[in-house]
Amino acid sequence: MKIAVTSQNFRTITQHAGKARRFLVYEQDPSTGNPKETHRLDLPKQMSMHEFRGDDHPIFGVDKLVTGSCGQGFIRRMSGAGVTVVVTSETDPYSAAEALFAGRSLPPAESHDHDHQPVMP
C-alpha cells in the first residue's frame, strides 16, 4: 500500500488537499512493518487538483491520501482514480501512515468551512 500525505511544508499534514502541491509518500517497510518515506512530490501549480484536468496525475498512483481538509468534489475525484481519502486532525505524517499501515483509524478532522464563506450571525 502507498500512502500520500498533503504537506506543504514537508513536516506536518496540511489542509486544502485540492490546492496542495507537496506530498510525502510512504510505503510499508517489509522488514519492520513501519512506514518508510519513499519520495516527496513538489509539483508545479498547474498540477494541483484545482488546476489539473487530466487523467495521469502522480497522486493517482497511491492507495490512500491523508489530508487535513478537502471538499466532496476532491473526494469523488480521488475515488474515481481508486484513491481513498482520509481527512484527519492528526498533524504528524509519520504517525498517520503508521496508524493506517496498522489498520487503525485516524482522529476525525475538526470542523472546517471549506468554502471559506463568512458565517453570518
Q: Could you give all domains of the chain from N- to C-terminal order, each with its CATH number?
A: 2-101 (3.30.420.130)
At 70, list the grid cell. 478537502
Closest by Cα among 59, 22, 27 to 43: 22
pLDDT digits (tens, 9 = 90+) for 11-54: 999 999 999 999 999 999 999 999 999 999 999 999 999 999 99
Q: What is the pTM of this model?
A: 0.90
pLDDT computed for residue 116 by the predictor: 44
Three-state DSSP state, 37: strand
Q: What is the mean pLDDT of residues 49-75?
A: 95
pLDDT computed for residue 72 by the predictor: 95
